[in-house]
Structure 1
């Protein structure tokens, strides 16, 4: 992978497999995992395909890594 492409990929997405299930990630990582836009992530949350995020503060929203892994496994087996 070229350095320029690698620079645009969030570090949490590059190292997602090494993160513990208890870790939290932000929207850019979720977009990369599900290969979709921000709007599609929120539609997926509303439809129940993507787990609901948690609010850490008024301007900080994050997703649990373990819940995301479970959702990715379920979508892979459908």
Structure 2
């Protein structure tokens, strides 16, 4: 089941599913990673050496409440 932003109810998202134009967060990759580094955006979870994901719940909170 998806919400208005096209996000699944639970699970994990890859960066391509988070950032625009496909995703709900309209920032560049460099802005996103700078925000992760300084704590404005949620911390990622490493599933493997080349697989980085974010919890859907963290992305929903970012959309609902804005950056920290």
Q: Give the TM-score normalised by structure 2.
A: 0.75
Runs of 4 or more, structure 1, over 4 Å off, are none
Q: Give the TM-score normalised by structure 1.
A: 0.67
Structure number with larger C-alpha Rg = 1
User: What stretches of structure 1 of length at least 5 have no aligned partner?
Assistant: 1-13
Residue 53 of structure 1 contacts residue 61 of structure 1 at CA under 8 Å; is this kept in 2?
A: yes
Write out per-residue CA displacement over residues 52-78 of structure 1, whole angstroms, 9 at most, x where no aligned residue.
0100000000000001111221118xx
Structure ranking higher in helix proportion: 1
Question: How many equivalent residue pairs?
Answer: 60
Name the Cα RMSD after superposition: 1.8
| 1:62 paired residue among 49, 53, 58 | 53
Q: C-alpha separation between the residues in 1 aligned to 2:63 and 2:6?
A: 16
Write out per-residue CA displacement over residues 18-40 of structure 1, whole angstroms, 9 at most, x where no aligned residue.
x123x101011221222011111
